[in-house]
A and B are shown apart, each in its own frame.
Chain A
Amino acid sequence: MSKRKLVVFIPLLVFLLLVGFFGVGLYLDPRELPSELAKHQRPVPDFTLPSVTDPSRIVTQDDLKGEVSLLNVWATWCPTCKEEHDFLNILALEQGVRIFGINYKDDPVKAREWLRRYKDPYQLVILDESGKLGLDMGVYGAPETYVLDAEGRIRYRHVGAVDANVWHKLQQVMASVEQEQQSGEGL
């Protein structure tokens, strides 16, 4: 008899468990995808592509190594990229943050004109006209900003425009990556 008494509470308990999940779920974004490459700390995929600003120059993944930096995926057809561009300018030109760019599925002529008009915060801008590099990195929606470590491994990705809040988070990631590297070197 008492077993039955407990069994009848099961639906209620299962329901409350579900409510717990739903409550948490309300504040999650089901469409946000963390970077698979970042999850496994994979290096930037090998590539050989020209630079946007200097078409005779060929860029490879090795050019991105050396220190902790940002890699920003953008395009002239992407309005949000325009929104974040001013902030990137501040970061790069005033604060000296090392930012690389990937011009994703875009027209290099338009891209050059854009950078000329709105300033160029990038150390290098990689011309990924076909989108193949983006695909190999798991890009799904411009703008995206990646944190790279000194060995050119992807450590974190943010999808969407970079603003002060996002920069704060990126800074934290970059700092912890730096620290890890230094303690590794000290060993």
Chain B
Amino acid sequence: MSLESFQVLAEPDVQRLFLRGLGTTLTLFITSSVCAYALGGVLVVFRMSGRLSSALVAAFVEYHRNVPSIVQIFVWYFGVPQLLPGPVQTWTNTHLGPFFFAVVALSLNAAAYISEDLRSGIRAVSTGQLEAARALGLGYIKAMRLVVVPQAIRGAAPALINQALGLLKATSLALAIGVNELMYVARQLDGETYATFPSYLTPTVIYLVCTLTLMFIGSRLQRAANKTR
């Protein structure tokens, strides 16, 4: 490794390449996390409403927790379109690229974990809270919404922030199906210029900056949420 290989980072083409890659990574992350948190909330509701829906959600969570994320991405991109009928498959191939399938795979995976974190957050709220709320005349849904869930989220906040960090890092798996994200462009640069160390040091630094920013935002949100006590 020579210091002169770092000169490749000074070229505007290379800088633009990394910026494009970062843009794709962030788009992938934001889209997936919005879907994941929303779906995670929905899954928790279903988990608590009836035996059949509870079993279905449990199966969903077990699949996504036990199958490696990279396998899930391959199954969605290469496997699932094969199961679709002919004309649907053709439409899928022309209109839904690897980005779409990466978002689907990452969202579902993260949603499974998030629903588990929310569930443990809800269980951590003492049952006395729900009883007291019901005793004060609030209906079940109002009691959950106004009393239990806010406390649950406060309790689950560290775990939820963890999931966000994990999701940001998991976006790098999308390179396996050809999404132009940060690690994909880093490997492309390495292949073209053999400037291996700068090619991989740059995304390392970028990921660190992004995750530290996320942690900062997360801690600020936590502080704001705790202030309402």
Question: Do A and B originate from a single complex?
Answer: no
User: Which residues does A use to contact B, with CB under 8 Å?
Assistant: none
User: Which residues does B use to contact A, with CB under 8 Å?
Assistant: none
